[in-house]
Structure 1
Amino acid sequence: AYGFYPLVTGVAAMLILRLIHGAIWGTCSSANATVVSDIVPPVRLGEGIGIFALCIPVGMTIGPMFGNEVLSNCGPRVMFLSLLCVSLLAVIIALFARTPPRAITKTRFSVRNLFHRKALPLSLTMFFIMIAYGAIIVFVGVYAGQKRFANVTAFFLCFSTSIFFSRLFLGRLFDRGYFHHLVVAGLTLTAAGLPWLGLAATPFQFLAAGVVSGFGFGILMPTCQAAVNDLVGFDERGAANSTYLVSYDLGTGVGVLLIGFLAEKVPLGTIYACCFFPILLSAGIFTFAALPHYLRHRSGNRGASR
């Protein structure tokens, strides 16, 4: 898709290309997560997904910095060609991945096979978390401009760095049975960081809120994904990861649309403070639905809640 962006001249063609790009992106995300869960030993599932998730904030930090630098110095055409080269490098690296052999069984296509019901409670928990995440990723630059804070790049650097460091330890904690504790810690940090972000009066408070909320999001995302994979069998992980990642992307999209609509009527600071409520709703779903469901259906050899 990156190779075609420099050739696009009309809005309609751009939208079609973006749809194709999004479909490819979604397919790759689900496939990557499933392959990772397949190749790591069952007793180290949390650690494996944690290492996999560790690469995401690195890409989130390097990507925008690299892209903006190339865009400002060389123009959009060179930027897209650079992205094409990076994508080809990813393809080459993927060729060296070794996956365990599995028997191929032919099944009739069904929409029901694209989702897994065991993944739904945790996916719904993540849906409301990602509403708040979408608000941060898209609108924090506008918010920083309104508050006349320093360069928003510093915020994203703090946010991504805290996500990175949170994932250094969470995988092993999940494998040792601290799933419940990790989710509670992640929800608490996120619920504290978002109102702090909305009420920030100084650049230091703005950046500190990014660190706190980054730790919260960094703990929640891979922990819930590891738990989803812990709920299903080897041959069901594709559908389970698809269900989880749909809620991930759908929550982000709903958050962007909702905050974009409200931003015309309500100050962004107030909106960020009110993002506490989706996190509170997520905590309720986790406590009364997702956690009991997980304790009933988990595999029993990893991630057990103490």
Structure 2
Amino acid sequence: MNSKNASVHGPKLWTRNFMFIIIINFLVFVSHMMILSTFPFYIQSMGGSVATAGLAAALFSLVAVICRPFIGWMLNNGKRKTILLIGIAGMALMPLGYMAISILALVFVARMIHGASLACSNTTSSTIATDIIPKERFAEGMGMFGVSTALATACAPALGLLLMGCLGYNVLFLSATGCMIIAFVLFLLLKAPKISVKKTPLSFKQLIEKDALPASTIMLVFLFTFGALENFTALFASKNGLPSGGIFFTIMACMLFVTRATVGKVADKKGEGTFVYTCNASMFLAFLLMAFVPNTVTFFVAAVFAGYGFGGLEPALQSMAVHIAPPERRGSANSTFLCAYDIGIGLGGGIAGYLISGLGFKWMFAILSLANVVSVILYIVWGRKHPSSFSYAKNVQVEAII
């Protein structure tokens, strides 16, 4: 009976270690997103402006981007658990640093160290996940792994805003550290697969995985919109008399969960193109609603659109970026994709901050919605014709049969 089920459903996906790495990744992003969504308020409480908050977001992502290629190279050389431990430790300590710091310039320094710690944590957790997931169920497995990121990304901002508003920044930061302590306990229980790797010298070629570039670039452009949402939705709601940003992120979380639970199987069968088109269209509509029809109903509808947009596109494109990489290149493939992730969110947050300061929320949303159009164009011109595309692979198989 068991062998029959295995033949029908493929190799076992839900192993003990797969569940551990999913929970660790979830806790990493809960810690990260609780602080990200509240950081503009924290910066303003220390005398900074909205533009200053945007700069903090950009610096956080810049450091992560600089670190990720080198982290990918170390992962390629087999340093999986060591790098994960460094990331967890840094993410546990930095929130405590925010509690102790009283000078704005030092906050920026701590924020940059925090960015490096996140880069270590989630580049490694993604790479370990790709080591664990059976090849036959790769997109499905990455989709389920992505549920942890999605739920944290959507739920943690609401939790962070609640803790900040009701209990203050110290409790918020202690909670972020507490998440990482739990992650450390799970880290001790995790047994990462032993991957045979050939150690390679450090070079530019080893830092970037070229087959991951199409998916990474398409995601980078899309994330201009999501970076703006994550950093400034709560502020937008408070300035426009709308329900709290926490409610927006909670609605988005529900849609994210529904989307992520199904995206992998669809991508395995039909390719990533469906999600590139529909998810960009969904986020585009969300931004137009927030720009030109800002009321309670459209605010909630935009949360649903945004939840589907991010929830569907990120795992589909991460699977595209990584699935043809050999084990010894998975670290670089993941770091390439996550560099794009950081650049997109960082630039999105930074650009949004300056657009809000100069033109207001309305034109910030309107201008950044154009990123969705560019993302689709990049896929049509480059991504769908690249060997890393699931759709391309299926077309080649069909042609071979014919």
* TM-score of the aligned structures, taking structure 2 as reference length: 0.70
| Number of equivalences | 306
Aligned partner of residue 125 in structure 2, secondary structure: helix
**Equivalent position of 1:170 in the other structure:** 263
Aligned partner of residue 265 in structure 1, secondary structure: helix
Closer/same/farther in 2, CA of residues 283 and 59 from structure 1, 3 Å limit? same
> Quick one: which amino acid aligns to residue 242 of structure 1?
S
> Quick one: which amino acid aligns to residue 296 of structure 2?
P
**Counterpart-to-counterpart distance in 2, 1:5 and 1:160:** 27
**Counterpart-to-counterpart distance in 2, 1:189 and 1:79:** 32
**Counterpart-to-counterpart distance in 2, 1:9 and 1:146:** 27
> Quick one: which amino acid aligns to residue 121 of structure 2?
C
1:33 and 2:119 correspond: no
**Counterpart-to-counterpart distance in 2, 1:222 and 1:282:** 16
Closer/same/farther in 2, CA of residues 131 and 108 from structure 1, 3 Å limit? same
- The one-character-per-residue Cα deviations of 1:122-162 (angstroms, maximum 9, x if unpaired) are 11111110111111112222322343222222111112221
- The one-character-per-residue Cα deviations of 1:153-177 (angstroms, maximum 9, x if unpaired) are 2111112221221101001111223
Deviates more, 1:177-186 or 1:31-40: 177-186
**Equivalent position of 2:146 in the other structure:** 53
**Counterpart-to-counterpart distance in 1, 2:354 and 2:175:** 34
Gapped runs of 5+ residues in structure 1? none
1:292 and 2:385 correspond: yes
Aligned partner of residue 261 in structure 2, secondary structure: coil
Q: Find 1:281's aligned residue among 340, 361, 374.
A: 374
1:140 and 2:239 correspond: no
Aligned partner of residue 382 in structure 2, secondary structure: helix
- The one-character-per-residue Cα deviations of 1:266-285 (angstroms, maximum 9, x if unpaired) are 23123213333111111000
CA apart distance, 1:213: 2.0
**Equivalent position of 2:361 in the other structure:** 268
Q: Find 1:7's aligned residue among 100, 104, 120.
A: 100
Q: Find 1:42's aligned residue among 135, 152, 161.
A: 135
- Identity over aligned residues, as a percent? 24
Calculate the aligned-residue CA RMSD, in Å: 2.7
Contact 1:155–1:210 (CA<8 Å) still a contact in 2? yes
Closer/same/farther in 2, CA of residues 150 and 83 from structure 1, 3 Å limit? closer
Deviates more, 1:191-200 or 1:166-175: 191-200
Contact 1:39–1:100 (CA<8 Å) still a contact in 2? yes
CA apart distance, 1:68: 4.1
**Counterpart-to-counterpart distance in 2, 1:218 and 1:246:** 19
**Equivalent position of 2:177 in the other structure:** 84
**Equivalent position of 2:315 in the other structure:** 222
**Equivalent position of 2:156 in the other structure:** 63
* TM-score of the aligned structures, taking structure 1 as reference length: 0.90
More helix by share: 2
Contact 2:215–2:321 (CA<8 Å) still a contact in 1? yes
- The one-character-per-residue Cα deviations of 1:198-231 (angstroms, maximum 9, x if unpaired) are 2224211111011112201110011100111123
CA apart distance, 1:296: 7.3
**Equivalent position of 1:109 in the other structure:** 202
